[in-house]
Chain A
Amino acid sequence: MAKSVVEIKNLSKIFQRDSFSVAALESIDLDVKEGEFLCLMGPSGSGKTTLLNIIAGIDRPTGGELHVLGEDIATLSEDALATWRNVHVGFVFQTFNLIPVLTAYENVELPLLLTKLSAAERKEHVLMALKLVGLADRIDHYPRQLSGGQEQRVAIARAIVTDPTLVVADEPTGDLDAYSADEVLDILSRLNRDFKKTILMVTHDPRAAHHATVVRHLEKGQLLPVEN
């Protein structure tokens, strides 16, 4: 039996907005095993991003139990959580992923600046990550000199350069054409298959779901039962 990467029990998230509150997530129970490729689907506003953010440690739940990689991350301090993210989680967002003034190489190197690696070791890691996403020849390009698909692949390289256990992707193909979307999805499933990364991906795209090992649906803040 594989280890659990994400264990969630009765988790809720309520946004307080002035006078009224929005329950974005209600009594969520979720278990994600190591090596799974989980695809989270659901209509707009159903809470997908919120759930993903909480699991990845960039937002906090308002109730329930949450363990990610065995850590009760809701109780970590802001700084401890930052370090935890650096070590354990890789992020790919829909847009606005890369720092525009940095080259592809420098963007991928960013999370490594927080580690103890030497410049030579960092270089080795960065080049390996960029090779993995097929962009070894674009290291000196700036984001604006790359296509949307290439930008997203650089973002994936940055997400995996620290060799995290968990990779989260929020609609990584949302802004891409079909061809580039397939490239990105191929890379993600290869990371899952060949490198045993646990991947959580939010998507609207039914074809994207084919790459996943598990598909879960959210509706109005609640997780629908697993369908077989």
Chain B
Amino acid sequence: MWRLVLKNLLRNKRRSFLTGTSVAVSLFLLSSLAMVYTALGKPLENADSIPIMMVRRATGIVFPMPASYGARIREVPGVAACASLSWFGGYWKDPANMFANLAVDPENVFKVQFASTIPPDQLEAFQRERTAAVAGRRLAEKFGWKVGDKITLLGSLWGFNPELTLRGIFSGGPDDQLWFHWEYLNEAIGRMNVVGLYWIRLEKPEMASRVGEAIDAMFRNTPNETKTESLSAFMLNFIAMLGNVRGIILLIGSAVTFAILLIVANTMAMSVRERISEAAIMRSLGFRPAHILRLFVGESLLLTLAGALLGIGGAKLLYDSLRLTQIGQFAFADLRLRPETLALCFGIALSVALLAATWPAYRAARTNIAVALRHTG
């Protein structure tokens, strides 16, 4: 029986090829969308087990906080380390070279970002020199930076172009970022003594809610109230600034799904219509309506799943080899096609195949044999 399904599929090679390719392209698109959708919903893998939190202004992440808060946050029980960070927002050489560059507290940043490792001599060199910087390994590789290189950051809204010397390269953490001394920034902008946020590291991940409440309580009823949240909650808020991106993705995804359905349904309708009389002949030989139904649905399944395998498999291979970690300027733990996403896309393909074939196939299987033969015979 499967032989016959395959042979029927190859009967009109061009049509099957075009349909299969359309399905493949659509599913490539769909799985890419699904990947971004899941990444936006859950920016960090194992977010709950990461003992890092962010302290920001309660009014929003764009508002600065006093640099004096750091010392007070460090006093809160459960806080193992605390480092300020200020989004600098410059580029290197060309506005196209956008990446995350942050002014940080060099004494504490590696205590908070415990996963990042850097050779001790490089760390020391970074901490010693006011204009020193360190970069994540992926970023350094991308721009071909070596330790000792001069890096000037341009175009920041701070209205100042730091001239930095790369003193170290770290890896294992947010490897797409560049860090330099907050003091250097603070002096250049006339000692305003403000920072963007605080990164804190907890003694234990389970302490998150208790520590968060303690910090926020400490600054309640001051002009600069804080909001302390987990890394993933922080990123979700950040993404929310972009507007309802997930909603738009969902909309596009639905449109793509509908398009695949139309393509496959059209092909199957044509394919079935051409073979009404063949189905009648087979039934005269003793094949049951259910056999005919299976024959056509099997054909639709084979065609769609072949396209799906190509499209989704291609997407998987591509994204695995690209090792994306970023959408625009937003860094993610992992931009990859997770097994759930793969399963979802195959599920959609499967439903499309069934939906597209069932109605025409059912009609072909149920037509009166005598009538079907009379039409073409």
Contact = CB atoms under 8 A, between A and B. Distances in A.
A111 interface: yes
A87 B282 contact: no
B281 A96 contact: yes
Interface in A175-222: none
B112 to A, nearest CB: 67
A78 B289 contact: yes
Contacts of B130: none
Chain A interface, >50% SS class: helix
Given A59-B369, A59-B370, A101-B11, A96 B277 contact: yes
Contacts of B285: 85-86, 91, 110-111, 114, 158
Contact of B278 (A79, A86, A99): A99
Contacts of B370: 49-50, 53, 58-59
Contact of B282 (A78, A94, A110): A110
Interface residues of B, number: 26
Nearest to B286: A86
Contact of B284 (A49, A87, A91, A99): A91
Interface in A36-80: 49-50, 53, 56, 58-59, 78-79
Contacts of B10: 101
B266 interface: no
Nearest to B365: A78
Contacts of A78: 288-289
B175 to A, nearest CB: 56
Contacts of A97: 281
B278 to A, nearest CB: 6
B338 interface: no
B283 interface: yes
A121 to B, nearest CB: 17
A83 interface: yes
A82 B11 contact: no
Interface of A: 49-50, 53, 56, 58-59, 78-79, 82-83, 85-87, 91, 93-97, 99-102, 106, 110-111, 113-114, 158
Interface of B: 1, 3-4, 7-8, 10-11, 277-278, 281-290, 368-370, 373-374, 376-377
